[in-house]
Each structure stands twice: as C-alpha cells, then as structure tokens.
Amino acid sequence: MVMGELSPADWTAELERSGRVVFPLRKRPNVRRIGLTLPFSFAGVVFPLLALRDAEGTPRLMLLLVLGFSIMSIVCFVWAARSRQPHLIVTPNTLHVGKRPVAWPADVRLLNSYVTDPAVLESWLNERRPTPSVS
C-alpha cells in the first residue's frame, strides 16, 4: 500500500490509527533508467573478464579499469533501487522529510515523487497544520 496513491480520507485514517502517515518516494526516473543501463554494466563485467585471460600490459590495465567501474556502477544501481529515501512523514504536530524535521511553512514544497496529486496533499496538510501557540 503506497500512501501517495490513496485518498486523503485514507491518510486521515492512518494518522488517527498510527499517529503518523509515511509517504515513501514513488518510483523515480533514475530507477527506471537502471533497467536500461544495468545490462551494459553486466556486459562491462563479463567481457573484460573474458578478455583478461589473454591480455598483458596496458590492455590488461584498461580491462581492469573497465571491470572496476562496471562493478561500481552495479553497486550504485542496486543501492539507488533499494534506498528510496527520504520519506515524507506527517505526524499531528510535525512534518519530517527523511529524519529531518521541518516547519510547517506557508508554502509547502511538495514533489510529485511523493503523491500522484501534490495539490491534494498540500490542502490536506494545511487542514492539519498545528495552530501557533499564543503566549
């Protein structure tokens, strides 16, 4: 269940039930690009390994560099796909982006990557904005 694709009534119910609503990032374009570039990274691992058997000197060094960069890119792609941070977390009194609490600003900058309709989320947040205490 992805909160960003549900209705404001569902968000309210979740807030009342658990005391917070967590909006994870939806799929980002960078994660979609992984599907296109990951095969090239694997090819960058397989072909140098095959060619390294017969290579010597400078060609061997170049193949090792290509192999190293390919392995690093695979690790980065996997990390990007698994860590879809930061989450937008709404509690009754606070608003967090990731682990960092933020104030309830007059103009909340909302990204399309949290919800399908940012205007709906902004109006829902404005309804729940804590009233400032008067001293």
Q: Is the pLDDT of residue 120 over 80?
A: yes
Segments making up each domain of the chain, as ranges:
1-28+84-130, 29-83
Residue 15, φ and ψ in degrees, nearest 5:
-65, -40
DSSP 75-97: HHHHHHHH--PPPEEE-SS-EEE
Counting residues of the chain whose pLDDT is more than 90, the rounded percentage is 2
Dihedral sign from CA coordinates of 8, 14, 15, 16: positive
How much is the pLDDT for 93?
81
